[in-house]
A and B are shown apart, each in its own frame.
Chain A
Amino acid sequence: MPAPAQHRIIFKHIDEPGYTRDLACYVRHGGYEMLKKSVGRKPEELIDEVKKSGLRGRGGAGFPCGVKWSLVDRKSGKPIYLVVNADESEPGTFKDRYIIHQDPHQLIEGIMISSYANNVKQAYIYIRGEFPEGARILEEAIAEARAANFVGPNILGTSYGCEIYVHRGAGAYICGEETGLIESLEGKRPYPRIKPPYFPAVLGLYQCPTIVNNVETLCHVKHIADIGGDAYARIGTPNNTGTRILCVSGHVQRPGYYEYEVGKITLGQLLYEVCGGPLPGRTFKAVIPGGSSAKILKFGERFKGKRKVGADLVEYDWGIEDVPMDFDSLGMIGTMGGSGGVIVMDDSVSMVEALANINEFYAHESCGQCTPCREGSLWMKRISGRMVHGQARVEDGALLKSVADQIAGRTICAFGEACAWPTQSFIAKFGDEFKGYAAAKAAGAAPAAAAAEAAPVLV
């Protein structure tokens, strides 16, 4: 079946010739009309539209945005903050970069509509430190919007006002975790907070109710305000509504970003048709479908079970090429849609070396607060690194797995799972490669069929 056409809502103007990021261009294309309409509506109506839309968060967890908003404590008498998570730090994910650099006013309009809906008077954009140009662009765009009375006090002649400030991170992955991000915004080390009691909706920034939303999620809010929640919910598939941006990297002919209706394209269509298939002379070996924390999928494995289609239970028997790219389908086969970062590996890659690369990342990024994660991520890095550097043992796979198994579920935040899942899934699916790695090294060949000089250096 041929791949469907892209359905560009958020990326409508990305890479469009002649489209510039300034306010005048944005307004020429209908920009801030939705904000004008929204401030004439009741805030509760807007929250209702977002609930009806079924919008799920695009940062990683896929939590329903309307539910997140409805959990906000509105009776505390404290100010409500909106914090925009522009930390975009999950390896394999690179969508927010283009929104920020090429269409910043789309984000600002989404922030202002969401702020109005939630009676937020102060919003912060927490942008990763590695985007210095993005931070400057956002500050310029906010200044333009402020001058045009779209941001600041008494916007558009109403009694409502909201200010937006940009806050730069400084290179720490854990700041993408919402409570770590809040700590960082408070000027501290970004140690994630314990939930309960520190649910941001109740005790967030400065112990006030706080909404933390991803950049892409807030852009969707603008389009929900435009077409209405019911119409938006008809895009995509039930419980996986709207569009989402899939970021493809690694060993494909055409890596890049592609926006599709959620669940309307399969992994196979995405990789073979949209991205042009494997590199010349190569075959696909494995793919991580939702950012580097997501569990790896192996080409050739099959998934069987029953799933709900409408009111019916339907049997499915999928190869990984057949899996629809939505939250629920990817969850059913034991991985996740996560942040939309699809990382592809071909037969030139040694899975031991790929895991060693990933483990080095997580060891570097563990915040160190919880012992299982701090020590576990470090030892996983050391063991997989030792394997690659000539001292692999047959039992190393089992050893790695035992370390990973003791991290997940024993930490304050989801980083514990994020660093354990790669090891657990690599060993589960490529266990033989780990067992055979020492022998293959001794025989002078990489376990993969590739000649050594063609194989990528990963550690």
Chain B
Amino acid sequence: MKLKPETLQRIADVIPHYPVKRSATLPLLHLVQEDQGYISSEAIEWIAAQLELQPINVYEVVTFYPMFRQHPIGRRHIKVCRTLSCALVGGYRTCEEFKQQFGTELGEVSPDGEVTVDFVECLASCGTAPVVMIDDALHEKVDVAKARALSDQIKAEAAARAPEPARA
């Protein structure tokens, strides 16, 4: 496992927060996922070793919680709220718009590698529905027009990034 030094530092800091090491399973999964983008089987074994657990103890946690993923996703993660309050004011149409904008299906990486669109359950901001999280940022009252504007912004940011050097 090659983790960034700051990730290793944060892992070392968080384990002593608990009298029982196993409690640090979720924090370590979050930290490793932030570092690596997803949870690989190597990561599961590595975390288990850090916490003196069997890999199955970590694996069963990864497979239960919706936020942990075992495959890489697009550069940006667009999470549209699916639940009732958002659906009542257009959440489904918002989600469709994001899919169309990036020519992708739910849970997949868009062809340009830029985004993964997911339809998730309640984000607890029902008063400003429909809501969308793009990575860690919440966006409120995202109707179709705002979804288009946010997509344009993501595309512009992608275009502004220096193209990756061609590999030999």
Contact = CB atoms under 8 A, between A and B. Distances in A.
Interface in B116-168: 120-129, 133, 136-138
Interface in A100-127: none
A91 B19 contact: no
Interface string B45-82: 00000010000010011001111100000000000001
A429 interface: no
A256 interface: yes
A167 B7 CA distance: 17
Contacts of B92: 456-459
A268 B105 CA distance: 42
A51 interface: no
Contacts of B120: 130, 171
B127 A257 contact: yes
Given A133-B136, A165-B17, A91 B87 contact: no
A190 B61 CA distance: 9
B29 interface: yes
A403 B88 CA distance: 26
Interface string A133-173: 10000000000000000000000000000000101111111
B110 interface: no
Interface residues of A, number: 56
A77 interface: no
A167 B27 contact: yes
A132 B121 CA distance: 16
Contact of B61 (A93, A185, A189): A189
A169 B66 CA distance: 10
Given A361-B84, A458-B92, A168 B121 contact: no
B107 interface: no
A94 B126 contact: yes
B22 A186 contact: yes
Contact of A189 (B22, B51, B60, B127): B60
Interface string A335-348: 00000010101000
A249 B126 contact: yes
Contacts of A249: 85, 88, 126-127, 129
Contact of B24 (A89, A130, A187, A292): A187
Contacts, number: 151
Tell which of B57, B61, B93 has the most Cβ of chain A within 10 Å: B61
Contacts of A244: none
Find the residue from A169, A250, A256 having the highest chain B CB count within 10 A.
Answer: A250
A89 to B, nearest CB: 6
Given A130-B124, A249-B129, A170 B84 contact: no
A457 B66 contact: no
In this complex, which of B68, B90, B127, B128 has the most chain A Cβ atoms within 10 angstroms of its Cβ?
B127
Contact of B126 (A130, A170, A247, A360): A247
Interface in A345-399: 345, 349, 354, 357-358, 360-361, 364-365, 367
Contacts of B29: 170
Contacts of B127: 94, 247-249, 255-257
A190 B63 CA distance: 12
Nearest to B120: A171
A250 B22 contact: no
Contacts of A358: 84
A69 B145 CA distance: 50
A184 B26 contact: yes
Interface string B77-103: 000001111011110110000000000
Given A168-B27, A341-B126, A360-B82, A186 B20 contact: yes
A168 B26 contact: yes
B41 interface: no
B84 A168 contact: no
A128 interface: yes
Contacts of A354: 84, 88
B126 A187 contact: no
A337 to B, nearest CB: 16
Given A343-B84, A361-B84, A171 B126 contact: no
Interface of A: 88-94, 96-97, 128-133, 165, 167-173, 184-190, 206, 247-251, 255-257, 292, 341, 343, 345, 349, 354, 357-358, 360-361, 364-365, 367, 456-459
Given A171-B65, A206-B20, 7 more contacts: A91-B122, A92-B126, A93-B126, A171-B67, A248-B127, A250-B129, A456-B87
Interface of B: 17, 19-20, 22-27, 29-30, 51, 57, 60-61, 64-68, 82-85, 87-90, 92-93, 120-129, 133, 136-138
29 contacts: A88-B124, A90-B122, A91-B84, A91-B85, A131-B124, A167-B17, A167-B26, A169-B65, A170-B30, A170-B65, A171-B65, A171-B67, A171-B120, A171-B121, A173-B122, A187-B20, A187-B23, A187-B51, A187-B57, A189-B61, A249-B85, A250-B88, A250-B129, A255-B126, A343-B126, A361-B83, A364-B121, A456-B89, A456-B90
Task: Report the 6 A-B pairs with minimum CB-CB distance, sorted nearest first.
Answer: A187-B25, A249-B126, A170-B65, A171-B66, A249-B85, A457-B92
